[in-house]
């Protein structure tokens, strides 16, 4: 199983679009992993990259005066907590491959398509 990055997912900010595309790549690598050590390594890499991406995104939101920054940052914190929990469960062998695939697909698509769509609107309005 894999999720495909589509040009329609772009929000109009080149750095964030590249980061989102890389998050898709990491998610696909995680879902393709076939050993527990690989799963552990990739989930930690995904967690680290996601945390860095969220920091970048929130900094941009501050610069843009994004009205929903607090709620968006809270969504980021919840996602990081969820990823941390998944990491712990993977480390303990408590999470099946299909559960990881379902969780990651749901998480990444919902965040990029729903949460970041509001940021895309602000970027477009300020550019236009």
> In the chain, where are the structural domains located?
12-127
Residue 42's contacts (CB-CB under 8 Å, 6 or more residues apart) are 26, 29, 30, 33
As given in the structure block, the two tokens for residue 48 are 């680290």
pLDDT the model gives residue 60? 94
| pLDDT band, residue 69 (cuts 50/70/90) | very high
Class (C level, CATH) for 12-127: mainly alpha
pLDDT the model gives residue 36? 84
Average pLDDT, the chain: 88
Report yes or no: 53 and 45 within 8 Å, Cβ to Cβ: no
Q: Strand, coil or helix: what is 35?
A: coil
Q: What single string gives the DSSP state of each residue in 108-128?
A: HHHIIIIIHHHHHHHHHHHH-
pLDDT digit string, tens, across residues 5-47: 999 999 989 999 999 999 999 999 988 988 888 988 998 999 9
């Amino acid at each position: 199983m894999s999720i495909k990055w589509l040009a329609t997912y772009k929000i109009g900010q080149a750095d964030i679009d590249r980061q989102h595309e890389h998050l898709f790549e990491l998610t696909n690598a995680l879902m393709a992993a076939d050993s527990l050590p690989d799963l552990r390594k990739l989930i930690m890499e995904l967690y680290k990259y996601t945390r860095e991406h969220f920091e970048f995104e929130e900094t941009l939101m501050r610069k843009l005066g994004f009205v929903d920054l607090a709620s968006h940052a809270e969504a980021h914190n919840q996602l990081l907590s969820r990823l941390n929990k998944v990491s712990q469960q993977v480390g303990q062998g408590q999470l099946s491959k299909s559960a990881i695939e379902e969780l990651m697909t749901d998480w990444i698509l919902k965040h990029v398509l729903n949460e970041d769509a509001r940021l895309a609107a602000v970027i477009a309005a300020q550019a236009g």
